[in-house]
Amino acid sequence: MKPQTLALVPFTAGDTWEGIPGIVVTINGAAPVSAMSLVTMRFRKSGLAASTAVELSSAQAGQIAITNAATWAFNVPEQIVAGLTAGTWTWQIRITNAAGVKKTYLVGEIIVLDTV
């Protein structure tokens, strides 16, 4: 399955990022069978090495909130994301289900504007 691409609104480095509200993952109109247990969002500078530079996780308070594990609903709340400097960043959201299976469901790019 190919991950869905989601466009995110640019923001200025050091400002509060608006996050991503109300995400619900479905496959053929329904939540996957096994409940989700972990959501991670990884960022890396576009065009650079494939290593992750910044990571948000549902395992860390305030970074990603699983609102309903059975229906695969979560959100990435507003927050200041330390480490996202000016430039274009590639990101992905990977979900781990209760059986330990990991899949990337959302991908995209976000532009972080330089401060004045």
What's the token pair of residue 32? 């996957």
Task: Confirm if 52 and 44 have CB atoms less than 8 A apart.
Answer: yes
CA pair distance 5, 47, nearest whole angstrom: 18
Instruction: State the pTM of this model.
Output: 0.91
One pLDDT digit (tens) per residue for the chain, 116 residues: 789 999 999 999 999 999 999 999 998 889 899 999 999 999 998 766 567 789 999 999 999 999 999 999 999 999 999 899 999 999 999 999 999 999 999 999 999 999 87
Chain centroid to CA 27: 18
**Which residue ranges make up each domain of the chain?**
4-113
The CATH class of the 4-113 domain is mainly beta
| Amino acid, res. 55 | E
* DSSP of 69-99: TTTTEEEE-SB--TT--SEEEEEEEEEEETT
